[in-house]
Structures are given as structure tokens and as C-alpha cells.
Structure 1
Amino acid sequence: MADTKFLETAQGRRLAYHKTEGSGPIIVFLGGLKSDMEGTKAVHLEACARAREQGFLRFDYSGHGESSGAFTDGCIGDWHEDTLAAVLRLTDGPMIVVGSSMGGWQALLLARVMPERIVAMVTIAAAPDFTEDGYWASFSDQQKADLETVGHVELPSDYMEPYVITKRMIEDGRDRLILRTPLDLPFPVRFLQGTADTAVSTDTAVRLLNHAKGPDMQLLLVKDADHRFSDGPCLGLIERAVRDVVGDA
């Protein structure tokens, strides 16, 4: 396994990454909230890319994995800046963007600022606007008051310790919303979604499909697949989706 490398961003953050050299278009993997680049999906896709001698990039947002900073200091905008830094400094030419959960939101934000670089996109349980439509919309009056007075609330997680959701994350998320304004995806897109996902609903996946505009978009609903979407069959579906969007099914 290659050693982890680090990138210093203009904002003073130190991002950990692994890059596999190879032919293009390079695959850029964007992980989920509180996930890291050692996740099953990222490592599996990297191995697939290496077998095909294709370029691959995975990295940790600030406050995640081996990168600098604390998770509670970050927000969607910070992680968007991290994504831009990684893409602009570590890649050139066409790329295939693969985004998981919050990484799906990041992939869509990336498509807004550099659609000319993206030749295809695959999302897995994409979670656009979840700070507003998921967290804020479900907060009780007491939780909203705590956000103002304490500055954060804690939410239970099915997968790890509670999520600490800060006032800054909620407010910043409102500046990054995807589903309220036009969303053009002028390249092949495959949205993958499990029907047993308790973090992102199938309604969200359908809403995203209906909202986005593009020449080649498909939504695949996988019965009984959960939010992790990382067992053997699901990994196979992700791999096939990546190959499909570049015409190599």
C-alpha cells in the first residue's frame, strides 16, 4: 500500500490523499459525512481502477480521516473547498466523479463550478441539501433553540458515535443548496439508491432525478440495500455503473 500523501490548501488545511497514476479519465471518489478514504467503496473502486490502469484519487476532507482539523469545525462549504483543492491541484483533464452520501452533494456542487471537466458521474445514496431537508426540517423547537444557545445539537447515528451538528453547518448548508435552483448535468449520470436506506430516502433520490437536467440520467433502486451500499453485490453495481457511464459496460 502506498504511503499517504498530503496537500496544503489555500485555507491552511492539510488534506490526506492517495492517488493512483494511470490513463484517463481519472476517477475521483468523494466520501460521505464522517467517512474517510479507507472506506470499502473507495478502496474497492481504487483496486478496480488499478486493474484497468486507470487514474484514481481518494482523499479525506478536513476533519475526516487523516486530514487536519476537527469535524465539528467543518461545514459543507469547507468540504467543497477541499474538493476543489484536491481536484485542481492533483488532477487535470477529464474526470469521472463518484460521490457517496454527502459526497454526492459534493459531486453536484463540483458539477456546478467545473462541468467542463466532468465526463461522467455516479452517486451512491446521494444526500443533497440534507442539512436543510434532513436535519433542520426534523429538529424540534428545543433542538432549534439549542442550536442558537449552545451552538450545536447531537443526533444519534446508526453507524458510529452521535453526529454533532453545528449552527455553522446548518447556516452554511443553506448557501450550498442544490435542489432549489436549476441543476444541469451535461454528461452521463447514474444515481444508485438502496430502498432500505434509513439515512437517505428513496424520495430524495427520485426528487434529485426529477430536478436535474441532462442527456443521460438513470436512477437504480436496489431492494433491501442499506445506506452503506458496500456488500459484494452493491460494490459490483457501483463498478458496473462506473464502467457504464464511460461506455465500457
Structure 2
Amino acid sequence: MAMPDFLTTPQGRRIAYHQTAGQGPGVMFLGGFKSDMTGTKAVHLQNWAEAKGRAFLRFDYSGHGQSDGDFLDGCIGDWAADAQAVIAALTQGPQVLVGSSMGGWMALLAARAMPERVAGLVGIAAAPDFTEDLMWAGFTEAERAAVMAGRLEQPSEYSDEPYVITKKLIEDGRNHLVLRNPLRLPFPVRLLQGTADVDVPPAVALRLMEHAEAPDLQLLLVKGADHRFSTPQCLAMMTAAIEDILGQI
């Protein structure tokens, strides 16, 4: 596998990325919480972009994958800043942002911070505000006390290592919520959501669709698809959504 290139952000964090040259608007993949750019969806999109001659970029947030930093030191604001630094430094013109799970929140924050650089958005089991609405809201009083004492460990379906949820993650997340204030998305938006997703339930996608102010927003519910959304059929839906957006531009 090719070695990544690296970008040092204005905050001094060293971010690993892979970039494919091609025609614009470019497509950029934003991964999920404790995920990285070597996942099925990210690699599939790079292969699709290369076949189409489309500019494409995938990267790892600080503390994720091949980027520098400790995951436990990170938080929503840091990872959002990483994504926005990558857009600003490495891409040209408006981009189609493809956000998976937490990456959907990152894409929405980028759209709010730099709307002139977003041509469209595809959310795959997008998880805006998940630290508050899925984590904190679902914790018991004992779990909340553990978080406020510093950290809480929970088992992960995706790794042998537990999820470690820090006080910093929860408190910083509250500074970056997008479903409490107006959310204007003046570009095509496609949301893809599996009905069997137990990590980010379909209610999240429905809430986002209802909340956003968007002239062209569509939600596709896929019966039986889980949070990974990585079957061949799901991957085909993802690229079809991107091509739909590119066709609107």
C-alpha cells in the first residue's frame, strides 16, 4: 500500500492523507469516530474516483490511523479543525463531502464554517451531535459520573479495544452541536441510512432531514443495512448519490 503524504495544520497537528488528482469538483471522504482512511468505503471511493478521473482525497484525523497524536487527547473541535485545514490547504474550489458516521458531523461543521468550499454533501449514517444525543443521553448516572471523573470505557463491536469516552470529548462536543441552531445547507444533500443501524438509528437521519434548511435534500433508507453500510449494494448507492450530486452541479 502506498505511503500517505502529510499536512501540518495551523494547530501544529500532522495529518496523513492520500490524494488523487482529477477533475473537479473534488470528492473528499471524512471517516468516523476511531475509524481511519483505510476502511472499505474510503478505499472504494478512491478506486471509483480514479476510474472516473475525479479529484479525490481521504485523510485521518489527528489521533486516528496514520496521523500523529493520541486519540484520547482529541475531541470534536480538534477533528473538525483537522478536516477544515485539509479542505483549505489541499483542495481547490468547492468539494463534495462524503461523511460517514462522525464524518457526517464533521462535514456539517465544515459546511457551516466554510460554505463556499462545499458543493454538496453525502451523509452515510451521519451522526451529528452524537456525543450529546447518543452517548450522554444514553448513559446511566454511574456512567455519567465516570465520564465526569475523567473517562468511561465501553466495549466496541468494531475492535478488541474498548471505546474510551473522555470528559473532554463530551464537554467539547457541546460547543459544536449543529441540531440546536439553524443549519443552512444551500447545496444538494443525500443522506443514506440503514434501518438495522443500532449505533446511529434512523431517527437521527430523520431529525437531520427535518432540521436542515436545504433546497435539495433526500434521505434514502435501506432496509436491513447496518452501521457499516459497506456491502456491494451499499457502496453502489454511495457512489450513485455522489454522481447524482455531481449531476446537479
TM-score range, shorter chain: over 0.9
Which residue of 2 is the match for residue 18 of structure 1?
Answer: 18
Which residue of 2 is the match for residue 216 of structure 1?
Answer: 216
Shift of 1:2: 3.7
**How far apart, CA to CA, are the structure 1 residues paired with 2:246 and 2:197?**
27
Q: Provide, for residues 193-225 of structure 1, a one-character-per-residue CA deviation record: whole Å limited to 9, x for no partner.
A: 000001001111100000001110000000000
Which residue of 1 is the match for residue 61 of structure 2?
Answer: 61
Matching of residue 244 in structure 1 with residue 227 in structure 2: no
**How far apart, CA to CA, are the structure 1 residues paired with 2:146 and 2:117?**
42
Q: How does 1:42-81 map to 2 (within 5 A)?
A: 42-81=42-81
TM-score by length of 2: 0.97
Aligned partner letter, 1:196: A
- Match of 1:177, SS state, is coil
- Match of 1:246, SS state, is helix
**How far apart, CA to CA, are the structure 1 residues paired with 2:144 and 2:94?**
43
Shift of 1:138: 1.1
Aligned partner letter, 2:242: V
Q: How does 1:106-125 map to 2 (within 5 A)?
A: 106-125=106-125
Q: Provide, for residues 101-134 of structure 1, a one-character-per-residue CA deviation record: whole Å limited to 9, x for no partner.
A: 0000000000001111211110100000000011
Which residue of 2 is the match for residue 179 of structure 1?
Answer: 179
Which residue of 2 is the match for residue 98 of structure 1?
Answer: 98
- Match of 2:247, SS state, is coil
**How far apart, CA to CA, are the structure 1 residues paired with 2:217 and 2:230?**
22
Q: Provide, for residues 180-200 of structure 1, a one-character-per-residue CA deviation record: whole Å limited to 9, x for no partner.
A: 000000000000000000100
TM-score by length of 1: 0.97
Which residue of 1 is the match for residue 135 of structure 2?
Answer: 135
Aligned partner letter, 1:158: E
Shift of 1:77: 0.3
Shift of 1:3: 2.7
Aligned partner letter, 1:186: P
- What runs of 5+ residues in structure 2 fail to find an aligned partner? none
Identity of aligned residues (%): 61
**How far apart, CA to CA, are the structure 2 residues paired with 1:214 and 1:138?**
29
**How far apart, CA to CA, are the structure 2 residues paired with 1:148 and 1:4?**
37
- What runs of 5+ residues in structure 1 fail to find an aligned partner? none
Shift of 1:5: 0.5
Aligned partner letter, 1:147: V
Q: Provide, for residues 78-109 of structure 1, a one-character-per-residue CA deviation record: whole Å limited to 9, x for no partner.
A: 00110011111101112110000000000000
**How far apart, CA to CA, are the structure 2 residues paired with 1:213 and 1:53?**
32
Aligned partner letter, 1:200: V
**How far apart, CA to CA, are the structure 1 residues paired with 2:80 and 2:175?**
12
Shift of 1:148: 2.3
Which residue of 2 is the match for residue 152 of structure 1?
Answer: 151
Shift of 1:28: 0.8
Which residue of 1 is the match for residue 189 of structure 2?
Answer: 189
- Match of 2:235, SS state, is helix
**How far apart, CA to CA, are the structure 2 residues paired with 1:116 and 1:6?**
25
**How far apart, CA to CA, are the structure 2 residues paired with 1:197 and 1:110?**
25
**How far apart, CA to CA, are the structure 2 residues paired with 1:86 and 1:50?**
20
Aligned partner letter, 1:177: L
Which residue of 1 is the match for residue 162 of structure 2?
Answer: 162
**How far apart, CA to CA, are the structure 1 residues paired with 2:165 and 2:3?**
32
